[in-house]
Homo-oligomer: A and B are copies of this chain.
Amino acid sequence: MRFYGYFRSSSAYRCRIAFNLKDVDYDFVSVHLRKDGGQQKQPDYRAKNPQALVPALEDGDLTLTQSLAIIEWLDETFPEKARLLPDDKDTRAKVRAFAQAIACDIHPLQNLRVLDYLKTAFGADQAALDRWCGRWISDGLAACEALLEKEPASAFCFGETPGLADICLIPQVFSAHRFGVDLSAMPRLVAIAETANALPAFANAHPRNQPDAE
């Protein structure tokens, strides 16, 4: 199995946590988003992922894109390993919704191509970009905190073992720290992140621990 990623990409970070939790080995291929005008835009990589985004996963003839699709595929392909989605369909829907609140409505707005557009078309400086990212992260994580307030207290987002929701949350909390977002109104998310980051599966997936880290 070959995994194309970038150390700082939130989507690649999610997949690394999932690989670790599932205890599945893979060969890593670095796609540097800033080198060579963006290696993700080169024809060889675009043939794998026409969106010119990381990550991509190759397994034999199968090529997959999109982190959430890759993670559910890993969970379904290795069902004997730790499950990342719950068996109960109602809880599973809530887990997916939480993951999508991050993967659809927070993270894509901080994407490199989006920030480049804001700089070029609207003359946004770094402070404006930080405010932009901060706004979506702050609003989005506040909504995630509120989603969890409806659930019984637990060590992870939905229960006592980590799963898809935590896999999405922890990279987003990392990104929140990068952009200086105040998380004091989200005590539950902060506590979950602390618990998760103490596990090797999460710690080893951290951007600073990757071979392509700068």
Contact = CB atoms under 8 A, between A and B. Distances in A.
B96 A69 contact: yes
Contacts of A146: 46, 50
Contacts of A192: none
Nearest to A100: B66
A68 B50 contact: no
Interface in A121-142: 121-124, 128, 131-132, 135, 140, 142
Contact of A143 (B51, B68, B131): B51
Given A51-B140, A108-B108, A117 B132 contact: yes
17 contacts: A52-B143, A65-B97, A65-B101, A65-B147, A69-B96, A69-B97, A70-B97, A72-B92, A73-B92, A73-B93, A76-B89, A103-B104, A105-B108, A109-B114, A121-B131, A122-B124, A122-B128
Interface string A56-78: 00000011111011101100110
